[in-house]
Structure 1
Amino acid sequence: MRGPESADLMLWKHLSFSPRTCSGHTRHGEGRSPLLMKMMYARKTSFLLLAALMAVMVLLKDRSNSESNSEEIKNIQRKMERSIEKQFRATAKVNSYVYTWPKCERNMSAANISGFSELNAHIQNFLYYRHCRHFPMLLDMPDKCGGPEESSEVFLFLVIKSSPGNYERREVLRKTWAEERQHNGLWIRRIFISGVTGSGQEKMRLNKLLQYEQNIYKDILQWDFEDSFFNLTLKQVMFLEWMERNCPKARFLFNGDDDVFANTDNMVEYLHDLKNNDGGEHLFIGHLIRNVGPIRSPGSKYYVPVQVEESNSYPPYCGGGGFLLSGFSASVIYNMSKSIQLLPIDDVYMGMCLAKAGLHPESHSLVKTAGLHIPSKVDGYDPCFYKEVLLVHRFLPMHMFLMWQQIRDPELQCSSSFKYKILNG
């Protein structure tokens, strides 16, 4: 559902959004990202500084060959070199394997926030680094979508949040609903997004594990920040930035956890049947949550103190277990996020970005992030309960593998009463 466009969204469309074709995708060569412009400016500035350095050295050398002037030249040279180095560090560096950023330093002034010393360590750490939007990239796949101009070939992009240690989950997903394939002639692509966990040898082993997986499957994005619950929003924002750079024309996205059962065949069919939306219009559907606010109980996993969020209410949002959105909406969320400080609850943060743009998430009856309500006397893993759904949370790896095989069995027969139970369960 789309309400009146906010001033933020209209301004973003005017200044930031590249011209689109009738299919809703950017035309070749039109528009440059702010990041690219920043990099071009930094490089140009660096070359100008280098030229100035050479000119100054020539002038001073012509003035005199004295020892004092020679020392003066060296001092100026050192200053200019430091300035050039600073310019290069101010922008990201690109190579063919990873897209890297300088390390983000903690904001020590966060300790001056009232009541800071009484907060738990993980909340203090969040506040120290809340301003950080860029971390060094350890694993990258810049050509995952075939390049920015070819990314429109990706109909459904599966973006799966996964911690480094969740190897078994990733392996099962690659063999089941997250398998890269064509369904009804439409491409499904997959990427896992991750940070780092552990310390010392354990951290090194997990990073090596992801590197080996990357060598085989080429389906991981990893950044050098702690992969924790409070950093899920950071992970989402950094992925959206990556998408703007490498996969800007993907039609639709599924964004979810690595322990959900997603019927991606059904997702493709649902999205393909949408009227007047090939990914260039707003879409954000899932399990809708509204009329709630921050949990203020310190014992809760979802505890958000007033030092993090003063408001006592959240805008409508879809549960973070999994949701579907259009490429258009993903781009809107990313651009709105630039002016909204990070909140540790990632699904709520998505709702905040949509609200700022004057857009709304919607509910879909076949997205079951809270699970299915199945009578206790009935087999909870009967495949007929799951054949029609878009998503159910949550599944163990072995159940995931078994269920995927069962629902795709051409001999599986289910009565219409199953769909009624699912829709009303």
Structure 2
Amino acid sequence: MQNCASFTKMSLKKGLLLCLLVSGTSLLLYLTLTKKWLQRTEEPTKEYFQEETGIYHVAYPRKYKFIIDQPDVCEQQKPYLVAIVPVTPGDADARNGIRKTWGKQKVFGDKVVLVLFLIGLHSGNDEEMLQEKLRNESQQYKDLLQSNFQDSYRNLTIKTMVMMEWLSEKCQQASYVAKVDADVLLNMNNLINMLVSLNTVQHNYMTGLVWYDSPVIRDPSNRFFLPYDVYSRDTFPPYPLGMCYIISMDLPQKILLEAREIKPIYIEDAYLGMCLERLGIIPTKPPNIELFVVRLLQYNRCYYSRLIAILTENTNQMTSYWTDIYSSNQPC
């Protein structure tokens, strides 16, 4: 490539112009690349997983903030149990389905239950329009929590840790929290009865469908793939499956503290198991492991009415099951 000194045979004026053009283009390219690099390394809300290059990165810089919040709801309602449902910003059908079914009843005996939906940021051409809809939905129902992380499957661990932050800071009044996926049919009455049967409020308590010796997937084509340099062991510590787990309210703060020392992985329930192991806590089996069902069985009203959490295929199926179970005071 020619440099500025090679233009001696050209007119001085043309040579200088060409030299300035080349230098200016190089400077512009350098500044552009530098800006992109700084955005990636300095902006805490831009997470990424570059599948095309195989770069694995899960960011949890602990600098997120809530842009839709219910900061005083626990102080006002003093719930015994808080159920938090992580859901995508655009899935209003799932939120409305839960509001009309298992999230509808707020009091069970003398126990108050609070149901909240946790969402992140939506990306797309309709971002501003959807954000306005979310603000209106929040004003109507007052049950949305939205933080400024990008809402995606790869950021589920970030979503979980943001949930822990909110609980630790704004809901110490509750005794327990249940994290419930949007496609899970929850029998709140059975869940409350299980917790009350413990007689005293538990500490260092986490329960659900507990998995033991879950293998770490090394196949890069699998959605749960983890490279050795991210997690070197062959199996995960015990953890309750993410479809629905219950923790005592003393745990969010403890998990947050331990998470500072553990490299995040995007498999959020396994990551919580890693935090529990560091805390020296073993998840508690429920009184009956069959109270949490992940494999869909042939529907039976009597059987399903005795369970706590059932993973369904979609909101319509969840709503259909709930409606049938509660169509009679005696499902069996």
TM-score range, shorter chain: 0.7 to 0.9
Identity %: 25
RMSD: 2.4
1:407 to partner: Cα distance: 2.0
TM-score (norm 1): 0.63
Letter in 1 for 2:173: K
TM-score (norm 2): 0.79
One of 145, 156, 164 as aligned partner of 2:89: 164
Residues 130-209 of structure 1 mapped to structure 2, 5 A cutoff: 130-146=59-75, 153-179=78-104, 181-199=106-124, 201-209=125-133
Q: Tell me, yes or no, if the aligned pair for 2:301 and 2:324 is still in contact at 8 Å.
A: yes
Name the CA distance, whole Å, in 2 between partners of 1:384 and 1:299. 40
Q: Give the aligned partner of residue 325 of structure 2.
A: 407
Number of residues paired by the alignment? 288
Name the CA distance, whole Å, in 2 between partners of 1:391 and 1:191. 17
Letter in 1 for 2:294: A
Provide closer, same or farther for how the CA distance between residues 251 and 406 of structure 1 changes in structure 2, counting only shifts above 3 A: same
Structure 2, gaps ≥5 residues long = 1-37, 43-48
Provide closer, same or farther for how the CA distance between residues 338 and 255 of structure 1 changes in structure 2, counting only shifts above 3 A: same
Letter in 2 for 1:187: V
Q: Give the aligned partner of residue 273 of structure 2.
A: 351
Q: Tell me, yes or no, if the aligned pair for 1:261 and 1:395 is still in contact at 8 Å.
A: no
Name the CA distance, whole Å, in 2 between partners of 1:130 and 1:217. 31
1:182 to partner: Cα distance: 0.4
Q: Tell me, yes or no, if the aligned pair for 1:369 and 1:391 is still in contact at 8 Å.
A: yes
Is 2:120 the counterpart of 1:120? no
One of 224, 232, 236 as aligned partner of 1:314: 236
Structure 1, gaps ≥5 residues long = 1-103, 109-116, 375-379, 415-425
Residues 378-389 of structure 1 mapped to structure 2, 5 A cutoff: 380-389=298-307
Q: Give the aligned partner of residue 278 of structure 1.
A: 201
1:134 to partner: Cα distance: 2.1
1:252 to partner: Cα distance: 0.8
Residues 14-413 of structure 1 mapped to structure 2, 5 A cutoff: 106-107=40-41, 120-121=51-52, 124=55, 127=57, 130-146=59-75, 153-179=78-104, 181-199=106-124, 201-275=125-199, 277-279=200-202, 281-364=203-286, 365-372=289-296, 374=297, 380-413=298-331
Q: Tell me, yes or no, if the aligned pair for 2:312 and 2:318 is still in contact at 8 Å.
A: no
1:131 to partner: Cα distance: 4.4
SS of the aligned residue for 2:80 comes to strand
Letter in 1 for 2:153: F
Q: Tell me, yes or no, if the aligned pair for 1:130 and 1:341 is still in contact at 8 Å.
A: no
1:303 to partner: Cα distance: 1.2
Provide closer, same or farther for how the CA distance between residues 349 and 369 of structure 1 changes in structure 2, counting only shifts above 3 A: farther
1:214 to partner: Cα distance: 0.5
Name the CA distance, whole Å, in 2 between partners of 1:121 and 1:141. 39
Name the CA distance, whole Å, in 2 between partners of 1:388 and 1:329. 28
Q: Tell me, yes or no, if the aligned pair for 1:180 and 1:190 is still in contact at 8 Å.
A: no
Name the CA distance, whole Å, in 2 between partners of 1:361 and 1:305. 26
Name the CA distance, whole Å, in 2 between partners of 1:186 and 1:140. 23
Name the CA distance, whole Å, in 2 between partners of 1:232 and 1:158. 17
SS of the aligned residue for 1:193 comes to strand
Q: Tell me, yes or no, if the aligned pair for 1:333 and 1:353 is still in contact at 8 Å.
A: yes
